[in-house]
Structure 1
Amino acid sequence: MRKVDVLGGIGEVARLPIVKRKGSLQTCLQLQKTGKNMSTSSIGKFALRTGQSLAAALTLALFAGNAAAVRLDPDGHGQVLIYPYYTTRAGNQTVISVTNHSDRHKALFVAFREARNGRQTLTFNVYLAPYDTWSTTAFALDENGESANLISGDKSCTYPAFDERILPNGRRYVPFRTVGYIAPLDDAGPNTMDRAREGYVEIFETGTLVPGSPPADAISPNGLGAPVDCEELYTGFSSYWRTAPATYLTNPTGGLSGEAMVLNVGDGTVMAYSATALADFRTDPSDIPAGSRSSVVSHRAPAENTLGLDDALNDPLERFATAAVDLPSRRLELKYPAERGVDAVSAVLAADAADVNYVNDASLGATTDWVINFPTKPYYTDQAIVGATAIKPFTAVYPTTGSEASAAMYLPYALRDPSGRSVGVSAGSSANLEMRYATQVIALAPSSGTVNATGRPLGSTLVSRLAPVAASAVKETGWMSLDLLRYSENGGQASRSLRVAEDGTAMLGLPMIGFTAINYINSNAAPGVLANYSLSKQQRRTQDCRRNTISCK
């Protein structure tokens, strides 16, 4: 829809496209230049004949074509935040933080998910005052029983509170749960607490609290900067929220940002990254201004909340979700039925290829890990959700019984040295990575032998390793590209694509986010001086789609 032109002057009226939604007027009203002046009274009569005043026409025209759609926010602000990786392995802790950049009180739903099949390991609510920040740390007490826990010294209110267990220093914490992947919800993965030690995190804005309401006043800071009364949340869930959890809440308005740090105190390393932000995840076109209605509020008690990335919704009346995908040459707006809301999220995350740079230099003690997260994968591959057959663009289910090896998919990759020359694999090897989890780590270490996970920056046990390369081809630096489009099927080659949108467009590749973690160990530093250096870098990607077999590029 073209932008609305303003009135050109007395006697001239620009084109005013007025679009109403399905179920009402389906046509566009266009007031064209007539070649002669139109009087103000003529305009008024025309408006009366059409049943619309000129003011209403202008208002509707301004909002036409500006309907909200799920989109990636390049500045990292949104209603939903996805943190592709947390870990408590190999002495690492992971600090997760979220900031409310708006002047509204926010209710949030936080879900930690294990890496293999994306099953939830811990869920709770966080309530933020305007401009408030909340943080928490995932940590291990030991390598066996209590290997995944969460602690927070933050004063912002949570429900429930982090007071289940107490450390010797008096600080309270809560352990992760295994209930999401043990009987009766078990799957092909292990059923121990160790499984919860690495994974990813989702934070959803479930609504904004009405100013002056009991919960909004309770989470507002007092003179010392602490919330007035977090106990009000317990009162709410035992009274007004018990049967009507949207009480005192209006629709989410966005403005959240997130950061994470994988921190290793013993090694003196920290690798920080920003969360991926989805704007306009749940919206209502009649909610003007945003946050004045309660039509898409998703606030619940954590134990009762099933909110996930499959709950995108951009029109609760017409029941559809829309994805806004920005290709280099144009923006696509792809509409999906509400029951396929996850496809709108996958569309904005889709990539047909991704690449990163790496350094793997023994003389510098340099190593690189590439974290890869498929946030929506469980909605396409978890057998408990989809049944016996995976849903496009994925090709194998993560089974409820048997071996998780059957969940593997194989992605072609290519290595290049700094001069751009291809680094081929050894004879008898294949340049394909086995990927079977929602989150996994690639050990970016081109080698003539097997790469061990020990000593890697993240210490992950879910490591995909590159095929051996000829000793003469090993390079300390270079870059790697991952083909998310092509795969083998029935002895031939096929292309991965999402299910088609309403207009027949299919995004190509896989929905994927990630970053590289790079570590340097300076063995030449003075004795007794810890000289480790670390950094992280976001991966790069390309996007494409297809409509009627024609590429969108």
Structure 2
Amino acid sequence: MKKNLMSLAVAASVATAATTAQAAMYLDPEGTGQVLLFPYYNAVGTNETYIHIVNTTADAKAVKVRMLEYINSQEVLDFNLYLSPNDHFAFTIFQHPDGDNAALVTMDNSCTVPALGSATGLGGTLEGFVRADGAKVQPFLPYQYQSEYSGLDFDARSQVGHVEVIEMGTLTNEDADSTTAFNPAAYATHDSAGVPANCAALVGAWSSVSATTGTWTSSASTQIGAATGGLYGISNVLDSADAAAFGIEAAAIDSFWAAGASNHTDPGNLKPSLGEGEKSAIITAGADAYTLVYSGTEGGWDAVSALFMSDTVSNDVMLNPVVNGATDWVVTFPTKKAYVNRTTAKAPFSDIYATGTSTKPLTYTGTNLSCETIKLKQWNREESTAVVGIDGPAFSPEPPAAVTPGNTLCLETNTLAMGAAGTASVTNTVLAGTGTEYLPASNLSFKTGEVEGWMRMSFEATTQVLDADSSTKAGTNGASVTANTRLEGLPVMGFAAFKYVNGDRTFGFVSDHKTSTSGSAIHS
């Protein structure tokens, strides 16, 4: 779910708001920006995920690439990527050939620091290596989560998750004509052979050898200019066993950094994070564009959350047995960890990721989970409805139904498997893997033969709200008027993945989630 489609009128309002004195981040309707969020990767068994990061500008760029596991968005691999102008960086996430952890493999020549495949001394399946065909393999690492709590330290935890890409700034040259000057833009730029001119110099800039400190080790901002955006991303989850592919675009946040700003950090640093950008956001609700302003040390997280806030998520369900139909929903909360990795949960989330025994509905024995209440309702193709957890559908219109207790999402990247009534299991899911929760959503209560329709997921808890310090709404003549400051729901992104079989051929396709912008509008 990209939430990047809007009317021309609203797009114009966003553009107007973005150029005012109160600059703010926004989801770019054209799909390019300074930050890219990929809602999902899967490296379970025969699943592989292809990630493409593209620089559409004439600037060389410093970019942080970060993979986060599905339970609590702990980093499993971070590295710095130095893109050439108009560069295209591609890699694949797959299951390690000798272990349960995920790994990255690439034949790409773009400069990374550290060099992918070079990590040694870590032991076993954590060792990087270069294959005989020249592909560089970099395993995902468990260090961020392995000592958290018992029950959640397992290698397969890294097989499912989502990906963040944050531009840290543009590369400039001290003196492009000098062989002794520090010229990172020139070093990162590919030569006629398609290879960076001097990637070793960029690695050296972060190194200290023989008492000589690297240029960036001394000052990370040296020859780093303002972030300019222009990044886009696409991904493709491929199940090689079934020959089914699912294409997904990254959500693009533009004006994430203040005008003229950059934030270049060393490899291995967990910063910059999504919480370090602008503390204001431009969002759309109906035909209106609002600029919401946040404050405090977590104001940046709130601004990113505002971009994805929604009180409902809707999408299709296709389970037709004639074509072996199957449907999975991916529901990712890209900012959740900032609100639950603490002693007291912060709105819009309500349940901390804490110690203690969990009774949450997971497919593994887990502890320390952060769960949010949801409501699920289904419609078949003829408008017959059912509230998930209540046996059988009802004629439309149906009597009001109370929120069904027990429906919760407990992960940061949630995969909901759906099957025909009473049949949901790992064998009939589209994206079967570690991150699959079998909530009541797994057993759709459609009658026999009623196996196609749609479902709505609602976030209706009173705690599921995000309040801004102030808000303005773009007026009809470009003027701003004071508006209310509350967004309802949760910050969510994702998609539905469908698979069906026709003869000896398997087909897969994806539909971005649809959100309720009116229900997610600003309230006092």
Q: Structure 1-normalised TM-score?
A: 0.77
CA contact (8 A) 1:257 1:277 kept: yes
- The 3-state SS of whatever aligns with 2:375 is strand
Q: What's the counterpart of residue 258 of structure 1?
A: 233
1:330 pairs, out of 258, 275, 288, with 288
Letter in 1 for 2:466: L
Deviation (angstroms), 1:425: 4.4
> Runs (4+) of structure 1 moved beyond 4 Å?
61-64, 424-429, 467-471, 544-547
- Residue-by-residue CA offset, 1:467-489 (whole Å, 9 max, x unaligned): 545563662110011102x13xx
CA contact (8 A) 2:389 2:440 kept: no
The question of 1:376 aligning with 2:301 is answered: no
Which gives a bigger RCO, structure 1 or 2 (Cα 8 Å, sep 6+)?
Answer: 2
- Equivalent residues in 2 for 1:24-103, closer than 5 Å: 65=20, 67-103=22-58
The question of 1:177 aligning with 2:141 is answered: yes
Letter in 2 for 1:240: T
Deviation (angstroms), 1:461: 2.8
**Cα distance in 2, alignment partners of residues 499 and 71 from structure 1:** 17
- Residue-by-residue CA offset, 1:90-135 (whole Å, 9 max, x unaligned): 3101111100011111100011000000000000011111111101
Q: What's the counterpart of residue 114 of structure 1?
A: 69
Structure 1 pair 442/103, CA: closer, same or farther in 2 (3 Å)? same
Q: What's the counterpart of residue 141 of structure 1?
A: 96
**Cα distance in 2, alignment partners of residues 63 and 423 from structure 1:** 43
Q: What's the counterpart of residue 267 of structure 1?
A: 242
2:512 pairs, out of 538, 543, 550, with 538
- The 3-state SS of whatever aligns with 1:451 is coil
Q: What's the counterpart of residue 417 of structure 1?
A: 380
**Cα distance in 2, alignment partners of residues 114 and 414 from structure 1:** 29
- The 3-state SS of whatever aligns with 2:426 is coil
Q: What's the counterpart of residue 487 of structure 2?
A: 507
CA contact (8 A) 1:347 1:511 kept: yes
- The 3-state SS of whatever aligns with 1:375 is coil
Q: What's the counterpart of residue 425 of structure 2?
A: 452
- Equivalent residues in 2 for 1:179-258, closer than 5 Å: 179-183=143-147, 186-187=148-149, 190-211=152-173, 212=176, 214-238=183-207, 239-258=214-233
Structure 1 pair 472/366, CA: closer, same or farther in 2 (3 Å)? closer
- Residue-by-residue CA offset, 1:287-319 (whole Å, 9 max, x unaligned): 4xxxxxxxx321111213422111122xxxxxx
**Cα distance in 1, alignment partners of residues 386 and 216 from structure 2:** 60
Q: Structure 1: where are the runs of 5+ without partners? A: 1-60, 288-295, 314-320, 488-493, 526-530
**Cα distance in 1, alignment partners of residues 286 and 370 from structure 2:** 34
Q: What's the counterpart of residue 124 of structure 1?
A: 79
Structure 1 pair 424/326, CA: closer, same or farther in 2 (3 Å)? closer
Q: What's the counterpart of residue 293 of structure 1?
A: none
- The 3-state SS of whatever aligns with 1:263 is strand
Structure 1 pair 188/327, CA: closer, same or farther in 2 (3 Å)? farther
Q: What's the counterpart of residue 517 of structure 1?
A: 497
Number of equivalences: 451
Structure 1 pair 513/222, CA: closer, same or farther in 2 (3 Å)? same
Structure 1 pair 227/443, CA: closer, same or farther in 2 (3 Å)? same
CA contact (8 A) 2:378 2:387 kept: yes
**Cα distance in 1, alignment partners of residues 18 and 96 from structure 2:** 54
2:416 pairs, out of 442, 465, 487, with 442
1:280 pairs, out of 243, 251, 255, with 255
**Cα distance in 2, alignment partners of residues 444 and 480 from structure 1:** 11
CA contact (8 A) 1:405 1:436 kept: no
Letter in 1 for 2:469: A
- The 3-state SS of whatever aligns with 2:108 is coil
**Cα distance in 2, alignment partners of residues 474 and 399 from structure 1:** 43
Structure 1 pair 127/420, CA: closer, same or farther in 2 (3 Å)? same
The question of 1:362 aligning with 2:331 is answered: no
Structure 1 pair 470/311, CA: closer, same or farther in 2 (3 Å)? closer
Letter in 2 for 1:359: M
CA contact (8 A) 2:171 2:224 kept: yes
**Cα distance in 2, alignment partners of residues 545 and 360 from structure 1:** 29
Over the matched positions of the two proteins, sequence identity in percent amounts to: 27
CA contact (8 A) 1:107 1:126 kept: yes
Letter in 2 for 1:129: S
Letter in 2 for 1:437: L
Q: CA RMSD in A?
A: 2.4
Structure 1 pair 338/223, CA: closer, same or farther in 2 (3 Å)? farther
Q: Structure 2: where are the runs of 5+ without partners? A: 1-15, 118-127, 177-181, 208-213, 359-366, 393-403, 472-483
- The 3-state SS of whatever aligns with 1:103 is coil
**Cα distance in 2, alignment partners of residues 417 and 219 from structure 1:** 54
Structure 1 pair 251/400, CA: closer, same or farther in 2 (3 Å)? farther
1:496 pairs, out of 459, 464, 480, with 464
Q: Structure 2-normalised TM-score?
A: 0.81
Deviates more, 1:511-520 or 1:330-339: 330-339
Deviation (angstroms), 1:345: 0.4
Q: What's the counterpart of residue 480 of structure 1?
A: 455
**Cα distance in 1, alignment partners of residues 414 and 228 from structure 2:** 32
Structure 1 pair 344/418, CA: closer, same or farther in 2 (3 Å)? same
Letter in 2 for 1:303: G
Deviation (angstroms), 1:68: 2.6
- Residue-by-residue CA offset, 1:429-478 (whole Å, 9 max, x unaligned): 9476320000011123351x151022411112322333545563662110
- The 3-state SS of whatever aligns with 2:466 is coil
Letter in 1 for 2:192: G
- Residue-by-residue CA offset, 1:225-260 (whole Å, 9 max, x unaligned): 221111011221131101200100011110000011
**Cα distance in 2, alignment partners of residues 200 and 390 from structure 1:** 22
Q: What's the counterpart of residue 393 of structure 1?
A: 348
Q: What's the counterpart of residue 38 of structure 1?
A: none
Deviation (angstroms), 1:517: 1.1
**Cα distance in 1, alignment partners of residues 70 and 445 from structure 2:** 32
Letter in 2 for 1:152: T
Structure 1 pair 426/224, CA: closer, same or farther in 2 (3 Å)? closer
**Cα distance in 2, alignment partners of residues 513 and 118 from structure 1:** 14
Q: Which is greater in Rg? A: 1
